[in-house]
C-alpha cells in the first residue's frame, strides 16, 4: 500500500482535531441550554481534558515536520494550499501556549461563566469579579505568548484569533470615522421620528410557546433545516454546534415578542452560514467559517438588512398575526416595519437598533483594549462602562445588569471579539448591496417569502468558499471593493432618512 503523503497525513490529523472540536462545541451548547447547574464542575473538567487532548494533537512535533514536508513537496491544488495555510495558522497560535495554560483557561472560563449566571440577574458585579480577574490574568498570559510568536501586540494577538489579519490600528481608524458620523446622524434620525405618526406597539402577553412557533415558521422559510439543527432557550442568545448539527438559542420576553424574534433571526444567519460551508472540506480548516467579521456579517445581513426591511415585513406580518393570534392596525406590515426600524438609544446591545448598535460595540472595544493593556483595572470596569455609555449614547445604566454584566463574552473568555460585530455590520451592508445589484430577483423574492435567490448568491460568493481566501480578498471578489464604511453609512441614510 502506498504511504500517505505528508499533506494527507495532515488532513487525517486535522480531521481528528475537528471531531474533538465538534464534541467540545456540542458540550458548550449543552452547558448553556440544557445542563443542570450541578453539572458545571464536572463539565468544566470534561472540557478542560478535551481541550488539552486537542492541543497536544495540534502541537505534536510531527505536525511541524509534516507541514514543512507538504510545503516542500508541492503538487497541491488551490484548496489544498489554502488548507495547508490554515493548518499553519492554527498550529502557530497553538504552539505558543503550554498545555497546562490551555486547560487552566478552560477551567477558569467555566468557573467565571457559572459565577456570571448567578451574578447577572442580580446585577452583582462584585460577586463575579474574582473569577473574572483570573480569566483576564490567563487571557493576558496567552495573548503575550501568542503575540511574541506572531510579532503582534497582546490585543492584536487576541483579535487575530477571531479575525485573522485584523489589526487594532485599522479598527481605530474605522471606528473614529463612524464615531464622527453617528452622533449627528442619530440626532437627525431622532428629530425625523418626532414628526412621524407614533408607532403602535403590539400589546402582550405573548406566550413563549407562541413566540417559538412564530420563530420556527420564519426560520424554516429562510431555510433553517430542523433535521440538522435545533432551537432552544438560553440566558444569552447564541449559535453553536457543528455544520451538520447546528444549534441556535434565544430568550423569550412574554411582554415583547420582537426582541426574541430578531435574536432568532440573527442566530439563523449564523446557522445558515455554517450549513452552507463546503461539504467536501468538512473536518478541514479550509472548510471552516472565514473569521468572525464574516460570520457576524451573515447574521447581521439576515437580521438587519433583510428582516427589518419593508419587503420582509410584507411577507412576515400576516404570519405574525396568524401565529400570535392578533389583528388590527398594530399588525399591519407598515406599522411592524416602522416598529423594527425605530431608533432609540438603549442599554442592551442585543436589542439595539442598527444606528446605535456600533456605539455599544465601540464602548466594549475600548474597554477591553484598556483592560488587556492593564490601563484599566477590572474593579473600575462598571464606572468606565457607564462613562462610555453616557458619552456615546447619553445613557447611564441603572445597574450593572444593564451595564457591564449584560454580555457573556468576557466572562466566557472571549476577549478581542467585540469589534467583529461592527465590522460584521459593515460587511453585511456591503454584501447585501452587491447581491441586490447582481440579482434583481432578490428583493422581490424577500417580499414573497422566497429567499432562494438571496441564498443562491450568498452560497456562491461566500458560504461555499469556506476559508479558501483571506477575508479582504473574498469581500473584494464578492462586492468589487474592500471593506468600505461608506456603503454602511449610505445604507443607514437610505433606510432612516430616505
Grid cell digits, residue 498: 430616505
Exactly one of 11, 267, 274, 354 is catalytic; name it: 267
Annotation marks residue 133 as catalytic = no
Active-site residues, by number, are 267
Amino acid at each position: 500500500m502506498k504511504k500517505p503523503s505528508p499533506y494527507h497525513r495532515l488532513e487525517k490529523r486535522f480531521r481528528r482535531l475537528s471531531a474533538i472540536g465538534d464534541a467540545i462545541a456540542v458540550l458548550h451548547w449543552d452547558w448553556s441550554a440544557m445542563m443542570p447547574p450541578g453539572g458545571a464542575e464536572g463539565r468544566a473538567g470534561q472540557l478542560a481534558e478535551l481541550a488539552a487532548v486537542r492541543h497536544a494533537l495540534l502541537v505534536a512535533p510531527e505536525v511541524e515536520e509534516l507541514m514543512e514536508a507538504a510545503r516542500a513537496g508541492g503538487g497541491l491544488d488551490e484548496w489544498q494550499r489554502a488548507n495547508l495555510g490554515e493548518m499553519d495558522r492554527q498550529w502557530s497560535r497553538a504552539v505558543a501556549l503550554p498545555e497546562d495554560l490551555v486547560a487552566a483557561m478552560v477551567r477558569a472560563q467555566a468557573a467565571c461563566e457559572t459565577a456570571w449566571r448567578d451574578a447577572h440577574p442580580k446585577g452583582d458585579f462584585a460577586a463575579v469579579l474574582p473569577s473574572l480577574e483570573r480569566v483576564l490574568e490567563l487571557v493576558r498570559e496567552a495573548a503575550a505568548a501568542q503575540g511574541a510568536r506572531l510579532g503582534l501586540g497582546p490585543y492584536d494577538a487576541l483579535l487575530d484569533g477571531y479575525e485573522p489579519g485584523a489589526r487594532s490600528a485599522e479598527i481605530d481608524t474605522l471606528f473614529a470615522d463612524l464615531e464622527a458620523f453617528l452622533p449627528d446622524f442619530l440626532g437627525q434620525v431622532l428629530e425625523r421620528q418626532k414628526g412621524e405618526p407614533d408607532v403602535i406597539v403590539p400589546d402582550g402577553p405573548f406566550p413563549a410557546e407562541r413566540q417559538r412557533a412564530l420563530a420556527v415558521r420564519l426560520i424554516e422559510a429562510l431555510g433553517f433545516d430542523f433535521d440538522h439543527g435545533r432551537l432552544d432557550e438560553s440566558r444569552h442568545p447564541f449559535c453553536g454546534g457543528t455544520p451538520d448539527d447546528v444549534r441556535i438559542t434565544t430568550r423569550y420576553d412574554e411582554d415583547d415578542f420582537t426582541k426574541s424574534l430578531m435574536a432568532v433571526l440573527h442566530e439563523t444567519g449564523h446557522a445558515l452560514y455554517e450549513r452552507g460551508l463546503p461539504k467536501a472540506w468538512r473536518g478541514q480548516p479550509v472548510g471552516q467559517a472565514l473569521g468572525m467579521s464574516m460570520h457576524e456579517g451573515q447574521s447581521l445581513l439576515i437580521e438587519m438588512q433583510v428582516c427589518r426591511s419593508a419587503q420582509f415585513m410584507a411577507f412576515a406580518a400576516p404570519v405574525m398575526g396568524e401565529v400570535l393570534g392578533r389583528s388590527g392596525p398594530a399588525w399591519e406590515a407598515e406599522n411592524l416595519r416602522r416598529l423594527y426600524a425605530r431608533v432609540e438609544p438603549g442599554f442592551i446591545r442585543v436589542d439595539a437598533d442598527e444606528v446605535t448598535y456600533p456605539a455599544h460595540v465601540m464602548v466594549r472595544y475600548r474597554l477591553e483594549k484598556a483592560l488587556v493593556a492593564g490601563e484599566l483595572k477590572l474593579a473600575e470596569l462598571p464606572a468606565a462602562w457607564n462613562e462610555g455609555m453616557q458619552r456615546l449614547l447619553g445613557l447611564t445604566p441603572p445597574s450593572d445588569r444593564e451595564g457591564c454584566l449584560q454580555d457573556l463574552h468576557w466572562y466566557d473568555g472571549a476577549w478581542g471579539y467585540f469589534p467583529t460585530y461592527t465590522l460584521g455590520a459593515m460587511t453585511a451592508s456591503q454584501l447585501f448591496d452587491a447581491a441586490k445589484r447582481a440579482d434583481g430577483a432578490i428583493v422581490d423574492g424577500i417580499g414573497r417569502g422566497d429567499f432562494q435567490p438571496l441564498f443562491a448568491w450568498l452560497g456562491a460568493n461566500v458560504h461555499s468558499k469556506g476559508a479558501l481566501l483571506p477575508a479582504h480578498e473574498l469581500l473584494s471578489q464578492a462586492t468589487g471593493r474592500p471593506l468600505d464604511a461608506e456603503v454602511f453609512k449610505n445604507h443607514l441614510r437610505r433606510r432612516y432618512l430616505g
